[in-house]
Structure 1
Amino acid sequence: MHMSRRSMSVVALMSVTAMSLAACSSSGAKTDGAASSSASADKGATITYMHRLPDGEGMTKVSSLVEQWNKEHPDTQVQAVKFDGKANEMIKKLETDVKAGSGPCLAQLGYAEVPEMFTKGLLEDVTQYATQYKPNYSGAFSQMGVGGKYFGLPQDTGPLVYYYNKAEFEKLGIKVPTNLNEFKAAAKTAAAKGKYISAFETDEAQFGLSAQAAAAGGVWYKAENDKWTVKIDDASAKTVADFWQSMLDDKTTFVTERWGDSFTKALTDKTLIGTIGAAWEAPLISSDLAKTDNKGEWAVAQLPDFGKGALTGPDGGSGVAVMKGCANPKGAMEFNNWLNTQVDALVSQGLVVATTTGTMKTPDSVKEFYGGQDVFAELSKANANLAPDFPYIPFFSSVGAPMTKAATAAGDGSGKVIDIFKAAQEQSVKSLKDGNLPVAE
């Protein structure tokens, strides 16, 4: 997940399920296990894995997993290094260390970070190993690749799903919408009673709307023929823009910032009784509303059909990449796949796992909030329906500000929703050219 929301979700996940999705706020790294080894060490040397998983109380510690692996694989030893800084600090350290020949073999990267690390020459091409593990993962597998080359394996995901107050829906006589027309009709019924079944989240334009575009069949970026193709303002953008514009015009959606107080207040007082959000928001919502009379009323459903059937888009998540210079990429990828298929352990760390090899178990406190629903089973369905081809570009972070500005204008009526996608198109091309990367015109 991206850092603004990842940091906000930590407190909630820790309090609800002793889980978290973010790194700590301090800088530096600490070693779990044997003495460190560099990526340039010989093939028999220990494989170093740098991560920023929380390793909090009640979680299955990464060091325990590594210890288990090492006992079962004496010829491929791994050492875990926990980075206790922010994600951007870890990226800077990785760049410095890899260039100096002292970087780890494996490192946790956000999906949006992969293309930039690739562009800087910091990742090892492990396509020959990655493809053999592809059947073990959801559509997030593509997030660890650029231009048909793969640099690691996905670990956790954030497919969009739909959260709704089941009790309030029943009072209004509306059902969970399964497509956009049903959604708009239900929104009108709810608005007539002073309720909203969705929020137009101006501060979530970059990842929220891009994920919806993916659900509508959009593919924003492609690296082919040694050039980047940018195709944002297309039919998928029109589908998403028309959907939100109609509700903004009809005043049947709640305009707010996702990370402002008004969002949680609207959920609490039941003005807002539904919202499109990432899978990792399930424990966050339950935590925010745990002590209110919302407890037991909410449920999770699949994202409504944006015109492409059972398809959803990626909103956050991270994978484990093989860094440039790793002397044993085959062994590193064997551990990588083993680690990322340890479902129970990763769920204990607060992750919605990318693997499809096991069943995620819903924590009791989360299940209680959602009226006994096996929420993680529903999230698993979304994982399986994740758009398989929605990579990011280098410098994707620069696209956020123009999209947010355009979304704010759309929200207050001084602009249109389609302008958000036009801003993303313009900024994406500009950022690539500013980075001296070729763009297909």
Structure 2
Amino acid sequence: MTSRTRVPRAVAAAAATALLVAARSSTAGEADPSAAPAGGGEPIELSYLHRLPDGEGMTPVAEIVDRWNAEHPNIQVTATKFDGAAPDMILKLETDVGAGNAPCLAQLGYAEIPQLFVKGLLEDVAEEAAAYESEFSAGAYSLVTVGDATVGLPQDTGPLVYFYNEAEFERLGIAVPETLEDLAAASETAAADGAFVTSFTPDEALNWLSAQSAAAGDEWFGAGEGGWSVDIEGEGSERVAAFWQDRIDNDETLVTERWGEGFTQALNDGSLIGHVGAAWEAGFMLDSLDGTDAEGQWRVAQLPDFGAGATTGADGGSGVAVMAGCEHPVEAMEFNAWFNTQIDDLASQGLVVAANGTPATSDKMLRQFGGQDVLEELATASGNMNPDFVYAPGFASLTVMSETAAGVADGSATVADVFGNAQTSAVSTLQDLGLPVAE
């Protein structure tokens, strides 16, 4: 059986991929992944490195992969769980690529992908990916692209949605907000009663605020002949900044770290009755309310209109990329597409799947959200992600956003400063990576 091989190439100075430092392209003919090995040869062996939780009650990754292997005797996959932190996995992959023993496939956060590609660690499999593009939400698919290159397929998403306590909203006469103006009005009503329908979370600023800008219709990064464009202070970001600054100035939002004790305490004491959060939070956000009077009171809705209609942005999520040096990219992508469309299995891992379709909502979610079909609502949000909002190399290192947001919390900075500092930092980061930035 033949397969394509890949070799590094310098990206030409034309179109979007002219800006990428170490793209890869195919050099041989097509393979037929379903064909038997020629002359009764050995099956193709692929490896997949992931960091899915594999927790209690979840369908184990090994079990999913075993099903593939039983159905595809000519393409055998070995899955390995990486138990360390995500940055440690990136370091391992970089070392393994350099040593020539990297896995063919690896799970990567969307924000990590652009920088790994320009460093030459990922393959451009745009041709193979095109056959599977329609099976995934457009917003998620865009996040495994870098310029004109596509490095794999999306696995899960983190669209922003709106969580709210239905019982408390009804008590206060607040309707589920459909626009940013509605959310502002609800904030005022709730604050007068000593409650908050939102929380401003500085430690989540990077992904949380960028996702809101995406929901408002902005596009922060683009790749063209003149270099990477950076436009973090667009009209959408201005709208987002003004909304949160007003809420903070008027004491109409809970200002607390998302992953600190203050958030959970406010949830438990009933002072926090609404939250703009990532869809994946639905899997655990309400755990502390189990067995209390508030159990079953919360619901999830689409993000209010931030100015671009029924649009949301990605706060987290990951894709499965083809690593540089993979000898069988066609077969790797066949498995990639199959694995990431096993939506019920992946949903059991706590993922908001990127593939089209709606997994069954778990008994736990049904109980915590009062019988609501939560995953159906989250699937709608996944389909509403802004497909034009993509990341640039170095995005994941824009820690200045959270640092500045901490200043917003203590009054030493404004929300607008978060976006302004991110603009400056993003430009310098791209330049430090040796990438051209358009004027």
TM class by smaller structure:
0.7 to 0.9
Query: Following the alignment from structure 1 to structure 2, what is the Cα–Cα distance between the partners of residues 71 and 409?
Result: 55
Counterpart contact for 2:113–2:144, Cα < 8 Å:
yes
CA contact (8 A) 2:166 2:297 kept: yes
Q: How does 1:196-275 map to 2 (within 5 A)?
A: 196-225=196-225, 227-275=227-275
Aligned equivalent of 1:38? none
Q: Quote the sequence identity (%).
A: 56
Which residue matches 1:288?
288
| Aligned position for 1:84 | 83
Structure 2 counterpart of 1:417, from 410, 415, 418: 415
Residue 429 (1) aligns with residue 427 (2): yes
Residues 1:125 and 2:127 aligned together: no
Q: How many angstroms does 1:226 deviate by?
A: 6.6
Residue 22 of structure 2 is matched in structure 1 by none
Deviation (angstroms), 1:345: 0.8
Moved over 6 A (4+): none
SS state of the match for residue 77, structure 1? Answer: strand
- 1:362 maps to 2:358: no
CA distance in 2, matches of 1:84, 1:244: 37
Cα shift readout 1:130-188 (whole Å, capped 9, x = no counterpart):
12211111111111110021000000110000000100000101101100111111111
Equivalent-residue separation in structure 2 for 1:94 and 1:43 (angstroms): 27
TM-score, scaled to structure 2: 0.88
- Cα distance, 1:205 vs structure 2: 1.0
* Structure 2: distance between partners of 1:152 and 1:226: 26
Which secondary structure state, in structure 2, belongs to the residue aligned with residue 280 of structure 1?
A: helix
Which residue matches 1:153?
A: 153
Q: What's the counterpart of residue 5 of structure 1?
A: none
After TM superposition, give the deviation of residue 247 of structure 1 in Å: 1.4
Establish whether residue 343 from structure 1 lines up as the match of residue 339 from structure 2: no
Counterpart amino acid of residue 409 in structure 1: G
| 2:184 matched residue in structure 1 | 184
**Alignment check: 8 A CA contact 1:432 1:439 kept:** yes
Instruction: Indicate the residue corresponding to 2:386 in structure 1.
Output: 387
**Structure 2: which amino acid aligns with 1:382?**
A
1:93 equivalenced with 2:92 (yes/no): yes
Hey, what's the Cα distance between the residues in 1 that align with 2:289 and 2:204? 21
My pick for the range that moved more, 241-250 or 423-432, is 241-250
Aligned residue runs from structure 1 range 11-22, under 5 A: none
Answer with 405-414 or 128-137: which moved more.
405-414
The question of whether the paired residues in 1 share the 8 Å contact of 2:43 and 2:73 is answered with: no
Give structure 2 stretches of 5+ with no counterpart: 1-40
- AA paired with 2:235? A
Distance in 2 of aligned mates of 1:399 and 1:266: 29
Using the alignment, how far apart are the partners of 1:438 and 1:173 within structure 2?
A: 53
Residue 365 of structure 1 aligns to a residue in which SS?
A: helix
How much does 1:92 deviate?
1.0
Distance 1:338 1:363 in 2: 22
Q: SS where residue 80 of structure 2 aligns?
A: strand
Deviations 1:113-140 (A, max 9, x none): 1011101101111000112211111111
Q: How much does 1:302 deviate?
A: 0.5
Report what 1:304 is aligned to.
304
- CA deviation after TM superposition for structure 1 residue 276, in Å: 0.3
Q: Which residue of structure 1 aligns with residue 27 of structure 2?
A: none
Where in structure 2 are the equivalents of 1:98-177 lying within 5 Å?
A: 98-138=97-137, 139-177=139-177
2:402 partner amino acid: T
**Equivalence for 1:16:** none
Q: Does the aligned pair in 2 maintain the 1:286–1:366 contact within 8 Å?
A: no
Partner of 2:437: 439
Tell me the distance in 1 between the aligned counterparts of 2:221 and 2:136.
21
Shift of 1:84: 2.2
Aligned-partner SS, 2:223: strand
Q: Which residue of 1 aligns with 2:34?
A: none
Deviations, residues 268-302 of structure 1 (Å, cap 9, x unaligned) = 11111101000010122121222332101111010
Report Cα offsets for 1:187-244 as digits up to 9, x if no partner.
1111111111111111111111000000001111112227211110111111101111
For the aligned residues, what is the CA RMSD? 1.5
**Whole-angstrom distance in 2 between the partners of 1:91 and 1:292:** 41
Provide the rounded CA distance (Å) in 2 between the counterparts of 1:185 and 1:305. 14
Contact 2:312/2:384 (8 A) holds in 1: yes
**2:29 — aligned with what?**
none
CA contact (8 A) 1:161 1:276 kept: yes
For residue 92 of structure 2, give the secondary structure of its aligned residue in structure 1.
helix
User: Is the contact made by 2:48 and 2:80 (CA closer than 8 Å) also made in structure 1?
Assistant: yes
| 1:236-273 C-alpha deviation (Å, 9 max, x unpaired) | 11110111112122221111111111111111111111
TM-score scaled by length of structure 1: 0.88
1:195 maps to what in 2? 195
Other structure's SS at 1:405 match: helix
Question: What amino acid sits opposite 2:125 in the alignment?
Answer: V
Q: Which amino acid aligns with 1:61?
A: P
Q: Which moved more, 1:329-338 or 1:244-253?
A: 244-253
Residue correspondences, number: 398
CA distance in 1, matches of 2:340, 2:81: 16
Write the letter of the residue equivalent to 2:65. V
1:43/1:125 CA distance change after superposition, 3 Å: farther
Task: Show structure 1 runs of 5+ residues with no match.
Answer: 1-41
Amino acid at match of 1:192: A
1:118 and 1:208 mapped to 2: Cα distance?
24
Residue type matched to 2:263 in 1?
A: F
Contact 1:398 1:427 in 2 (8 A): no
Given that 2:161 and 2:381 are in contact with CA atoms closer than 8 Å, whether structure 1 keeps it comes out as: yes
CA distance in 2, matches of 1:279, 1:293: 24
Q: How many angstroms apart in 2 are the aligned matches of 1:398 and 1:331?
A: 33
For the 8 Å contact 2:226–2:438, the answer to whether it is kept is no
Deviations 1:77-123 (A, max 9, x none): 22212222221111111111112111111111111110111011011
How far is the alpha carbon of 1:43 from its aligned partner?
A: 10
Q: CA deviation at 1:54?
A: 1.9
Deviations 1:41-96 (CA, angstroms, capped at 9, x unpaired) = x9953011111112223222222222211222222222212222221111111111
